[in-house]
Amino acid sequence: MTIEIYVDADACPVKAEVYRVAERYGIKVFVVSGQLVAIPLNPLIERAVVGDKFDAADDWIAARAHPRSIVVTADIPLAQRALAAGATVIGNTGKPFTKDSIGMAMASRELMSQLRAMGEITGGPKPMAGKDKSRFLSALDEAVNRLKRAS
Domain ranges of the chain: 4-150
Class of domain 4-150: alpha beta
How many residues comprise the chain?
151
pLDDT digits (tens, 9 = 90+) for 56-85: 999 999 999 999 999 999 898 999 999 999
Residue-level pLDDT at 124: 58
Residue 6's SS3 state is: strand
Residue-level pLDDT at 119: 72
Residue-level pLDDT at 43: 96
Alpha carbon distance 127, 116 (integer Å):
18
Q: Which parts of the chain have pLDDT scores under 70? A: 101-117, 120-126
